[in-house]
Amino acid sequence: MMFAGKRVFVTGAATGIGRATAEYLADEGARVLGAGLDGEEGKALAGRYGEGQLIFRECDLTREEEVQSAVTAATERLGGLDAIVNCAGIYPTGKRLEDVSDAEWEKTIAVNLTAIFRVCRATLPLLRAAGGGSIVNIASVHADATVPGVPAYAATKAAVVGLSRQMALDYAVDRIRVNAVLVGSVATRMTLDGLEAAGGADALGLSFEPNRIARIANPSEIASAIGFLISDAASFVTGSAMQVDGGLLARLL
C-alpha cells in the first residue's frame, strides 16, 4: 500500500488520466476526493470503492464557489490534504489564432490554467497544515513542441509549467513540492476524438504498437508517474517538468 495515509485531491477524476490516477492512488491505499465534470462517470467510479476511500464531487472548476465547496468537502470528508493532482483540462483544436473567439480563448485559460491557480490557492493552507505535501500539475508535450491549430492549448500548457516552477520556489519553505508533467499521447477521449478528426493515428505519426517510439499510452502509465511525484520517493523532485511521453519529444521526425 504505497499511498496509505495520503489524502489526495484529484481534478478531472471522472475520466481519462484523472480517473486512472484516482484509481491507482485509491488501490494503493490513498483516500481520494475526485472533483470535476462528468458526474455520472464520477459517481460510478466512487461507487466501486468503500465509503471514504474514493469520493467524487461534481463541480465546474472555472467557478470559484464550486472550487471552494469541493475543497471544503475534502477537508470534511478526508480531514485534510497531503497532495493535489490538477488534471482537468480541455483541448480545443483546429483553429489558427485569428479564428479563435474571445469566449473560446477565455474558456481554455479558465479550465487549463486559472482552475489550477484557484485549486492551489484553496488547498495550499491544507498542505501546509499537514506539514507539507506534493502538487502535480498536468501539462503536456505542447508546452515544449506543438502542432498547428491549438494556440490556446499550447499557451496554457506552457503556462502550467511556468506556474509550477514558480510555485516550487515559493512553497519549498512549507515543504510543498510542485511539479508539472509533460504528458504525451494517451488513449483517452481527448486523444481519440482528436485522432478521429485528424484521420487516424498514422496521419499524426502516432501508433498504438507497443514497440514504437511516441506510441499512444494507456492512462495507467501516466497515473504511475503521477504517483511517483506524490510519493515520498520523490522527496528531492520539485520544480521539474517531467516528460512522460514515450519519447515523443525526443523524436525529430
Ligand X SMILES: NC(=O)c1ccc[n+]([C@@H]2O[C@H](COP(=O)([O-])OP(=O)(O)OC[C@H]3O[C@@H](n4cnc5c(N)ncnc54)[C@H](O)[C@@H]3O)[C@@H](O)[C@H]2O)c1
The sheet that has 176-183: what strands, in order across it? 54-58, 31-36, 7-11, 83-86, 133-138, 176-183, 241-244
Which distant-in-sequence residues (6+ apart) come within 8 Å of 232 by Cβ?
Answer: none
Interacting span for ligand X (CB under 6 A) from 1-9, 94-102, 123-131, 187-195:
187-195
Is residue 38 at the binding interface for ligand X, with CB under 6 A as the rule?
Answer: yes
* Catalytic residue list contains 24: no
Is residue 88 at the binding interface for ligand X, with CB under 6 A as the rule?
Answer: yes
Is residue 158 at the binding interface for ligand X, with CB under 6 A as the rule?
Answer: no
Which distant-in-sequence residues (6+ apart) come within 8 Å of 199 by Cβ?
Answer: none
The correct pick among 7, 12, 133, 161 for binding ligand X (CB under 6 A) is 12
- In the complex, minimum distance from the CB of residue 27 to ligand X, in angstroms, rounded to a whole number: 18
The correct pick among 21, 191, 238, 243 for binding ligand X (CB under 6 A) is 191
- Residue among 124 and 190 whose Cβ is closer to ligand X: 190
- In the complex, minimum distance from the CB of residue 4 to ligand X, in angstroms, rounded to a whole number: 26
- Residue among 34 and 133 whose Cβ is closer to ligand X: 34
Is residue 91 at the binding interface for ligand X, with CB under 6 A as the rule?
Answer: yes
**Where does 6-165 show beta strands of DSSP type E?**
7-11, 31-36, 54-58, 83-86, 133-138
Helix (H) or strand (E) holding 182: strand 176-183
Q: How many residues bind ligand X (CB under 6 A)?
A: 27
- Residue among 81 and 138 whose Cβ is closer to ligand X: 138
Interacting span for ligand X (CB under 6 A) from 1-9, 34-42, 77-85, 163-171:
34-42
Is residue 23 at the binding interface for ligand X, with CB under 6 A as the rule?
Answer: no
Is residue 172 at the binding interface for ligand X, with CB under 6 A as the rule?
Answer: no
Is residue 113 at the binding interface for ligand X, with CB under 6 A as the rule?
Answer: no
Which distant-in-sequence residues (6+ apart) come within 8 Å of 152 by Cβ?
Answer: 92, 100, 104, 105, 108, 109, 112
Is residue 37 at the binding interface for ligand X, with CB under 6 A as the rule?
Answer: yes
**Where does 24-172 show beta strands of DSSP type E?**
31-36, 54-58, 83-86, 133-138
Q: Which residues of 64-75 are buried (b: 16+ CB within 10 A; e: fewer)?
A: eebbeebbebbb
Which distant-in-sequence residues (6+ apart) come within 8 Å of 165 by Cβ?
Answer: 178, 180, 239, 241
Query: Minimal CB distance to ligand X: which residue?
Result: 16
Q: How far apart are the first and last CA of the chain?
A: 41
Q: For residue 207, what are the β-bridge partners?
A: 215
The single residue of 24, 91, 153, 171 carrying the catalytic annotation is: 153
The correct pick among 2, 49, 62, 175 for binding ligand X (CB under 6 A) is 62
Is residue 14 at the binding interface for ligand X, with CB under 6 A as the rule?
Answer: yes
Active-site annotation, residues = 153
Write out the residues near ligand X by the rule CB under 6 A. Answer: 12, 14-18, 36-38, 60-62, 87-91, 111, 138, 140, 183, 185-186, 188-191
